[in-house]
Amino acid sequence: MSCYIYWDKIKRIASRLEGMNYHFDEMDTSEVMPLLDEIEEIAHDSTIDFESAKHILDDAEMNHALSLIRKFYVNLGMKLEMEKAQEVIESDSPWETLRSFYFYPRYLELLKNEAALGRFRRGERAVFIGGGPLPLTGILLSHVYGMRVNVVEIEPDIAELSRKVIEGLGVEGVNVITGDETVIDGLEFDVLMVAALAEPKRRVFRNIRRYVDTETRIIYRTYTGMRAILYAPVSDEDITGFRRAGVVLPSGKVNNTSVLVFKCPD
């Protein structure tokens, strides 16, 4: 199916976003979730191949619309995480509350993909860069896969909130470190993971390359095909100095493509 069937719809969605206040501090999630559903309907259309998606997403006329949609997606995701983090902290049944998170089932599927891709083993040490207020990846790496995890979060207030979430859940083996990607210097780990929204990508990967060896498994999340309507993909230039060793494409409602890379020898 041609991706151009969505051309007008994408522009209409962008036009609606332009007239809204979609900064996460003021966003009413109950009002805007239907808009996310519309956007994801486009993103998840499996009849649109990668080449067709590239035609529309790389078109200069789409730049403004994509900018609006991607900003909305990031801000809404942050809002949903902030709200759920607070709910978990205040809940008498924190795990039940966590499992009610909108994206929870998708994280389970995403990590299943990544566990196979990275050949995760119980007891291994993992670092996840870009934890956010609801550090679900770190929590599930420990709870489901039995890994010891350091979650890296650059914003002090967000890092503190995520620590309270972990404490409320009673999860052991997950530590939150405040800082950027350079804090991995001195940490011991078998697997390094990079969040889809960790930025700026080029700097993040350049610094990672300084502190890992050629045997370290590195998995990063990106957006491919029509799912790139949600967020700008990681580029080849971003991962200069690394070699790709495997890719798992998303299916269903999972949004991220997971890529396994290794550092190239100097």
Tens digit of each residue's pLDDT, the chain (266 residues): 556 788 899 999 999 898 776 565 677 888 899 999 999 999 999 999 999 898 889 999 999 999 999 999 999 999 999 999 999 999 999 999 999 999 999 999 999 999 999 999 999 999 999 999 999 999 999 999 999 999 999 999 999 999 999 999 999 999 999 999 999 998 999 999 999 999 999 999 999 999 999 999 999 999 999 999 999 999 999 999 999 999 999 999 999 999 999 999 98
The pTM of the whole model exceeds 0.85: yes
Q: What is the pLDDT of residue 31?
A: 85
What structural domains does the chain harbor?
3-99 (3.40.50.150), 107-263 (3.40.50.150)
pLDDT at 3: 60
Confidence (pLDDT) at 211: 97
Residues in Cβ contact with 255 at an 8 Å cutoff, skipping those fewer than 6 apart: 40, 43, 106, 196, 223, 227, 230
- Residue 140 has a pLDDT of 99
Asked if residue 200 has a cis previous peptide bond (ω within 30° of 0), the answer is: yes
Q: How far is CA 252 from CA 41, 105, 152, 227, 256, in A?
A: 11, 11, 29, 11, 11
State the pLDDT at residue 148: 99
